[in-house]
Amino acid sequence: MMYHAIHLNNNLVVRPVVDGITEIEWFHGCRCFEISESRYQLEMRLRYLDDMHLLTTEDWSQFIGSLDDPGNVPNNNFISTYVKRDKWDTNRPLY
């Protein structure tokens, strides 16, 4: 059986190739990183990569699920500091 590593933002998961990449994963930018015939050899090679984190299937599901969660955004309430003034409320200097 063939296995592939799927990655997104320095996170990896190893799954069988027949599982493929889901539409949600593809939408968020997940791509296939490497393909191997042995799951063990693929996981061992991935563990030695510096910035990559090998996740379990459950951790990967939580990671992908958190991308669609609106609570995951630290602050999506942007407050504009621009004050729209009325044409009668202009600050004209008095001489």
Q: Spell 27-61 as b/e; 16+ CB within 10 A means b.
A: eeebeebeebeebeebeeebeeeeebebbeeeebe
Q: What is the pLDDT of residue 26?
A: 86
94 compared with 35, residue with greater pLDDT: 35
pTM: 0.61
Instruction: List, in sequence order, the alpha helices (H) in the chain.
Output: 23-28, 39-47, 57-68
Q: What is the pLDDT of residue 32?
A: 85
Lowest mean pLDDT: which of 2-11, 28-37, 44-53, 76-85?
76-85
Q: What letter represents residue 14's amino acid?
A: V
The predicted-structure confidence for 46-86, as pLDDT tens digits, reads as follows 877 777 788 888 888 888 887 776 555 555 556 667 777 77
